[in-house]
Structure 1
Amino acid sequence: MTKKFPDHIPVFPLNGVIYFPKTNLPLNIFEQRYLNLVNDAYSKDKLMGMVQSKKESESVYQIGCLGKISDFQKNRDGRILINLTGISRFKIVEEISNNKLYREFKVDYKDFNEDNNGSKNLIDTRLLMENSKKFFKRNGLLLNWREFEKLDQSQKINTLAMIAPITNEEKQKLLESISLKNKVETLESIINFYLHETDFNSQTIQ
């Protein structure tokens, strides 16, 4: 059964920040417009959207992620520290005109039912996990793989997609992958490209 989420949501556009369902995003809020957004969302249903903005432009990507404020702390200097827990991806339908400092959008979730209903079939991710460990090690990134193994399959894939040292455009491509299977295939392709590129460069230098 598909869960019902609001189709009119406040959205925080932020370049270079892409997050996924079942992941956590800590945010340090200090701009007045986003202080207003967070305060309004927290007093209503604690729901807000995140979407990547395009460089040097007011435009945003069409696919973002709805999150719930799971931690909320006000600092004496006026900043608000929150943790946002990803729930479901959405597709922007249109921007809603308002008299607020922050932006609101009409969105729909129908393409992303799997975010909450789960994938019906387990996907073989052994090669992806093996190559991810190599990729992270080559980039000097530490991940507690023992704790990582405790996550369910979609959490593992979304976590890798969020923290992998790849470009924002590649992460956006992963966010836009409709099914978990598509996401796994895309992530495998991206990581394999970087591993092969590193191997080629090493051979060239020698």
Structure 2
Amino acid sequence: MRSGPSHLGPFDPGFAELPAELPIFPLTNALLLPGGRLPLNVFEPRYLAMVRAALATPERLIGMVQPIDANADRKLQADFVPAVHRVGCAGRIVSFEETPDGRYQLILSGLIRFRIHQELPLDQQGFRRVVPDFDVFAHDMAEHEFQLADRPRFLAVLQEYLKTRQARLDWKGIEEVADDELVVAMAQMSPLDPEEKQSLLECEDLDAVVEMMTAMFEVHGATAAGGEHRLH
């Protein structure tokens, strides 16, 4: 996921400083990409503990992963451990707020993707931990220039797709957004299915994300128009 030179900030850890252990937050339909921002509302005791543990580390990283079962979020038993996809994205806590009713409101900044090499025993406070393999996605933290090959076409296809989903967007504001920021934001914000979002997460780079997103938007548009197209 080559998200451009604006991806890394002055407080982000370098690749050599990435931790050998990572807490994970399984959450359906929550896509975080390198360079993206993801707001989270945390209220379960085990995930409140996870946030406190992450804040106590220099990197302040949480690994976002999607459960394989899209309905896993509804099963809130304390001992429920859903199977998760093997590829996720590590996000750094860049802001957090404590609410009067005992929740944390966070913003994660996407840093680098990872593949789960091994899942560790549950932390004593109930949250999950893994040994992440960052090496396969080291290019996420490299600086690469990115430019949409055909920005007008991408925006036109996006606009038609959002119409089928009755979603609104500030088109005037988009004109000033850089290409890499636009693609990442649209991938995260678009009302795609969990499996589609996972496919975007596992793309090699932003060029591949654009190609896949465009195909998804066109298929959804054709389906809404009465076509028989189907994603495989």
- Structure with more of its chain in helix, by fraction: 1
Q: Determine the structure 1 residue equivalent to 2:192.
A: 166
Alignment partner of 1:106 is 2:118: no
Q: Which residue identity is paired with 1:135?
A: Y
> For residue 204 of structure 1, what is the aligned residue in structure 2?
none
- Aligned twin of 1:18: 31
Unpaired segments of 5 or more residues in structure 1?
Answer: 202-206
Tell me how large the CA RMSD over aligned residues is: 2.0
8 A Cα contact 1:119 1:180, kept in partner? no
Distance 1:152 1:61, change over 3 A: same
Residue 173 of structure 2 is aligned with which of 147, 168, 172? 147
TM-score by length of 1: 0.88
**Structure 2 residue 23 is matched with structure 1 residue 3:** no
Structure 2 portions without partners, runs of 5+ = 1-13, 73-80, 228-232
The question of 1:96 aligning with 2:151 is answered no
CA distance in 2, matches of 1:58, 1:116: 29
Could you tell me whether the CA contact under 8 Å between 1:125 and 1:184 is conserved in 2? no
The alpha-carbon deviation at position 16 of structure 1 amounts to 2.5
Q: Secondary structure of the equivalent of 1:12?
A: strand
TM-score calculated relative to the size of structure 2: 0.78
Does the 8 A contact of 2:39 with 2:106 survive in 1?
Answer: yes
| Residue 85 (1) aligns with residue 120 (2) | no
Query: What's the counterpart of residue 186 of structure 1?
Result: 212
For 1:50, the equivalent position in structure 2 comes to 64
SS in 2 for 1:200: coil
Q: What is the SS of the residue equivalent to 1:193?
A: helix
Of all paired residues, the percent bearing the same amino acid is 29
Kindly indicate whether structure 1 or structure 2 has the higher relative contact order, using CA contacts under 8 Å at least 6 residues apart: 2
Q: CA deviation at 1:83?
A: 1.2
